Amino acid sequence: TDAWLTGKLKPLAARAGLVVEQFGTANRVVTEGMGNLVWVRMSGARLVEEGVIGRPLAEALENEYLRRAEAGTLYGFLPFVTLIARKPAA
């Protein structure tokens, strides 16, 4: 749930004593279909488990996804980050 996590990853790795060897991002935009519904369900369930949101909100988010997909107004943005780091030799 941290919108700024990508920018924090390199400093976090450095503070942990790791050397970042590779860092990259890739983005996926979804504007149709049910492919992202699994992410909505999975993240909603996780947020409910952690007490961040209630079950009614998780259900509303899923319903809103379905409504937007049907209406042709769906927009989903998924950033993917790859960070490969190593522990320096002693």
pLDDT at site 1:
64
Structural domain span for residue 11: 1-31+81-90
Q: Does one domain contain both 22 and 55?
A: no
Query: Same domain, yes or no, for 2 and 25?
Result: yes
- Coil, strand or helix: which one is 16? coil
| Calculated CA dihedral for residues 85, 13, 80, 63, nearest 10 degrees | 140
Task: For residues 12-35, give the mean pLDDT.
Answer: 94
| Cβ-based neighbour number of residue 58 at 10 Å | 20
24 and 42 assigned to the same domain: no
DSSP letter (8 states) at residue 88: P
Do 38 and 70 lie in a common domain? yes
Instruction: Examine the domain organization and report whether 45 and 13 are in the same domain.
Output: no
Same domain for 40 and 67: yes
Domain total in the chain: 2
With a pLDDT cut of 70, the percent of the chain lying above it is 99
Residue 65 shares a structural domain with residue 48: yes
CA atoms 64, 37, 1, 82: torsion sign: negative
